């Protein structure tokens, strides 16, 4: 499992710089370090996973990757997060792949950015985070 | 114990989704939403109902008491019906070592005497999007000091009129040869010394020394504790007291204990194996901090029967101990002091005549003066070195040292 974590993590942080500017290699290297750190069984392992995922997304944000490449990167990131736990949840992975395909299809049909979309997207991001993370009060 | 909170997997997926969405909005690159879609979908299918009850952890130890260096088995069981995954870990205390024999079971080796918890059981349960962590501190374990193999070498000159295993000065029914005398009617024929009888042209019989019991009172000075962990003056005193108590109780002597430090604690001399455990339990209480200045001249008479041999384990760092020794000598009790200070203060690295160097030399002179004062009172001071066995240390004293 450790080897799978390492391979998936390095793929997730290593692919985006191929399509991005040279300076993104620095961010990807930082992410690679976090991947290696997350492969060791220590206390802050889970934080290292989050850092590696964050580095991969930031690298993607400044790359020129198209929709197929971003979809593949999204699936890789999901697989990396899920493989970091004792039991690999196939159900969640399949749900993630399906969602990625749906969103990729939608973006292919109507790509575009507007001020309204920005506002709605920001609200959706906050709402998604709030809904997804269970709160202690609930 | 913490309640149910978002699991590490939930937090990682949510973080990935949030970072991707924020990146999409900030850069205006709608394609980045693709990076958020997969984590959000995975979050959506996670079971979201929070379990009603926290995990119930039960910890059982095979014994509440053991000797230093012995093993006890610790078993932890967790009841959490809703959990997908249960992780149990044991974090041993610095004074114990642990090895996992099977999942949820550890063999704990108590490496140090005292009354302490051998460690903490950490349980982490994951149920859907939730996780709970429970920490259970194991009940304190009573670890008795290990008793090194020692012979009861120190014997007071005047022994009690009670049958025991020490060779007394009086003539009696023992096994040790004490002398010869002319035969008188009533003597047993097996005592007849043939060689002497033929040489002296008369009948002579062997005399045997009486076998007598002794009373031993071990005094432990816990007023000061200094030295590296595991080899402090109190550790050395506890091991010495345990070794002497075991040795004398093995030969049917009576052993008592007095702990100088905090509230004065004592245990009158008594024979038997049970007394050893009572002494060991009292030693466990010697380590507790106390803010009471004990009156060391008021050791009860019941603890110190006439003729009892007193062995004091002390680093001789407190003047109060000297008062106690003087009091014991005034009661005409034979006293032996075992010096438990193995490490003196580190010598100064500064110039030879610096104040630190001078202080160290004055301290050494003061200790030499203390030893001389004790010698003048008829109290031998034996130094228990780092590599020496207690048996060897006491062998240098023998019977000459214990005059009353």
| pLDDT at B404 (0 to 100) | 42
| Set of chain B residues whose Cβ sits within 8 Å of the Cβ of A53 | 12, 15-16, 19
Query: Has residue B282 got a pLDDT over 80?
Result: yes
Nearest beta carbon to residue B35 from set A70, A129, A134:
A70
> How close does chain B come to A15, measured CA to CA in Å?
14
Name which of B28, B120, B41, B133 is nearest B80 in CA terms.
Answer: B133
Query: For the segment B20-34, what is each residue's pLDDT rounded down to a tens digit?
Result: 999 988 888 888 888
In a domain, A116, yes or no: no
Q: Is the confidence metric ipTM above 0.90 for this complex?
A: no
| pLDDT at A84 (0 to 100) | 83
Joined tokens for residue A55: 């580095």
CB contact under 8 A, A107 and B30: yes
Q: What is the mean pLDDT of chain B?
A: 84
Residue B265 pairs in a beta bridge with: B259
| pLDDT at A2 (0 to 100) | 76
CB contact under 8 A, A57 and B16: yes
In a domain, A123, yes or no: no
B56-144, what's its fold?
Answer: Immunoglobulin-like (2.60.40)
pTM: 0.70
Considering Cα of B107, then B110, then B114, then B117, what sign does the dihedral take?
negative
pLDDT band at B392 (very low <50, low <70, confident <90, very high): confident
> How close does chain A come to B11, measured CA to CA in Å?
7
Task: Say if strands B335-339 and B309-314 run parallel, antiparallel, or are unpaired.
Answer: parallel
| pLDDT at B401 (0 to 100) | 44
pLDDT band at B348 (very low <50, low <70, confident <90, very high): low
With beta carbons less than 8 A apart as the criterion, state whether B208 and B358 touch: no
Residue B136 CA to residue B89 CA, distance in Å, equals 11
| pLDDT at B400 (0 to 100) | 41
CB contact under 8 A, B31 and A65: yes
CB contact under 8 A, A70 and B5: no
Backbone angles phi, psi at A119, to 5 degrees: -60, -45
SS3 state at B93: coil
Q: Give the range of the structural domain holding residue A24, as residue numbers without chain letter.
A: 2-110
With beta carbons less than 8 A apart as the criterion, state whether B337 and B380 touch: yes
Query: For the segment B110-142, what is each residue's pLDDT rounded down to a tens digit?
Result: 888 888 899 999 998 888 888 888 899 999 999
Q: What percent of chain B has pLDDT over 90?
A: 20
In a domain, A42, yes or no: yes
Neighbour-count burial of A111, counting CB atoms closer than 10 A to its CB (0-12 exposed, 13-18 middle, 19+ buried): exposed
Averaged over B84-106, what is the pLDDT?
87
**How many Å separate Cα B116 from the centre of its chain?**
11
In a domain, A84, yes or no: yes
| pLDDT at A56 (0 to 100) | 92
CB contact under 8 A, A97 and B38: yes
Q: Which residues have a Cβ under 8 Å from the Cβ of A122 and sit 6 or more positions away?
A: B25
Reduced DSSP (H G I as helix, E B as strand, rest coil) percent helix, strand, coil of chain B, to 5: 30, 30, 35
Residue B204 pairs in a beta bridge with: B182
Name which of B171, B177, B181, B179 is nearest B210 in CA terms.
Answer: B171
| Set of chain A residues whose Cβ sits within 8 Å of the Cβ of B86 | none
Query: For the segment B292-313, what is each residue's pLDDT rounded down to a tens digit?
Result: 666 767 778 888 888 888 999 9
Per the structure, the count of domains in chain A is 1
Residue in A closest to B10 by C-alpha: A133
Q: What percent of chain B has pLDDT over 70?
A: 91
Residue A56 CA to residue A10 CA, distance in Å, equals 10
| Set of chain B residues whose Cβ sits within 8 Å of the Cβ of A124 | 21
Residue A87 CA to residue B259 CA, distance in Å, equals 57
Residue B369 CA to residue B361 CA, distance in Å, equals 12
Joined tokens for residue B248: 């004398």
Query: Has residue B288 got a pLDDT over 70?
Result: no
CB contact under 8 A, B10 and A133: yes
- Pick from B30, B48, B103 the residue to mutate for testing the A interface (most A CBs within 10 Å): B30
Of B158-162, B282-286, B336-340, which one has max mean pLDDT? B336-340
CB contact under 8 A, A136 and B38: no
CA distances A102 to A107, B173, B270, Å, are 9, 105, 86
Averaged over B239-250, what is the pLDDT?
90
In a domain, A70, yes or no: yes
Question: pLDDT truncated to tens, each residue of chain A (138 aa)?
Answer: 578 888 988 998 888 888 888 888 999 899 999 999 888 877 788 889 999 999 999 999 888 888 889 999 999 999 999 888 767 788 888 888 888 888 887 777 654 556 676 677 667 767 766 666 665 554
> How close does chain A come to B139, measured CA to CA in Å?
26
DSSP summary character for residue B62: S
The top-level CATH class assigned to B215-402 is: alpha beta
> How close does chain B come to A128, measured CA to CA in Å?
8
pLDDT band at B84 (very low <50, low <70, confident <90, very high): confident
Averaged over B318-327, what is the pLDDT?
86
In a domain, A50, yes or no: yes
Residue B194 CA to residue B220 CA, distance in Å, equals 52
In a domain, A78, yes or no: yes
């Amino acid at each position: 499992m450790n080897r799978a974590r390492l391979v998936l993590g390095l793929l997730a942080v290593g692919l985006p710089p191929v399509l991005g500017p040279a300076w993104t290699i620095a961010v990807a290297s930082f992410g690679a370090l976090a991947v290696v750190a997350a492969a060791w069984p220590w206390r802050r392992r889970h934080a290292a996973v989050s850092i590696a995922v964050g580095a991969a997304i930031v690298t993607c944000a400044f790359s020129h990757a198209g929709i197929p490449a971003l979809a593949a990167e999204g699936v890789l990131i999901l697989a990396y997060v899920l493989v970091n736990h004792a039991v690999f949840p196939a159900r969640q992975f399949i749900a993630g792949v399906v969602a990625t395909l749906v969103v990729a299809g939608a973006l292919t049909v109507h790509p575009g950015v507007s001020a309204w979309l920005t506002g709605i997207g920001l609200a959706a991001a906050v709402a998604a985070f709030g809904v997804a993370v269970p709160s202690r009060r609930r | 114990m913490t309640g149910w909170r978002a699991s590490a997997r939930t937090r990682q997926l949510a973080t990935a989704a949030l970072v991707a969405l924020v990146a999409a909005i900030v850069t205006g690159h709608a394609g980045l939403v693709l990076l958020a879609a997969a984590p959000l979908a995975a979050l959506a299918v996670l079971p979201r109902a929070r379990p009603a009850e926290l995990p119930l952890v039960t910890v059982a130890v095979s014994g509440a008491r053991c000797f230093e260096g012995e093993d006890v088995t610790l078993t932890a069981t967790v009841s959490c019906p809703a959990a997908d995954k249960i992780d149990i870990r044991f974090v041993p205390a610095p004074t114990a070592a642990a090895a996992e024999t099977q999942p949820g079971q550890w063999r704990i080796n108590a490496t140090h005497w005292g009354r302490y918890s051998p460690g903490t059981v950490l349980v982490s349960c994951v149920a859907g999007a939730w996780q709970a962590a429970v920490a259970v501190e194991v009940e304190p374990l009573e670890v008795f000091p290990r008793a090194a193999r020692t012979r009861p070498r120190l014997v007071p000159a005047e022994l009690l009129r009670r049958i025991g295993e020490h060779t007394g000065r009086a003539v009696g029914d023992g096994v040790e040869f004490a002398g010869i005398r002319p035969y008188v009617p009533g003597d047993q024929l097996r005592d007849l010394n043939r060689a002497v009888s033929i040489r002296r042209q008369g009948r002579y019989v062997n005399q045997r020394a009486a076998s007598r019991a002794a009373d031993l009172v071990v005094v432990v000075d816990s007023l000061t504790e200094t030295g590296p962990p595991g080899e402090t003056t109190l550790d050395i005193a506890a091991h010495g007291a345990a070794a002497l108590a075991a040795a004398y109780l093995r030969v049917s002597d009576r052993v008592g204990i007095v702990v100088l430090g905090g509230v004065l604690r004592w245990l009158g001399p008594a024979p038997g194996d049970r007394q050893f455990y009572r002494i060991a339990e009292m030693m466990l209480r010697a380590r507790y901090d106390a803010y009471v200045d004990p009156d060391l001249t008021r050791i009860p008479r019941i603890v110190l029967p006439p003729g009892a041999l007193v062995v004091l384990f002390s680093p001789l760092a407190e003047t109060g101990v000297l008062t106690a020794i003087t009091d014991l000598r005034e009661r005409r009790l034979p006293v032996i002091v075992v010096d438990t200070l193995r490490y003196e203060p580190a010598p100064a690295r500064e110039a030879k005549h610096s104040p630190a160097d001078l202080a160290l030399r004055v301290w050494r002179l003061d200790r030499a003066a203390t030893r001389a004062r004790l010698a003048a009172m008829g109290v031998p001071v034996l130094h228990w070195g780092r590599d020496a066995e207690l048996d060897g240390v006491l062998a240098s004293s023998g019977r000459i040292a214990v005059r009353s």
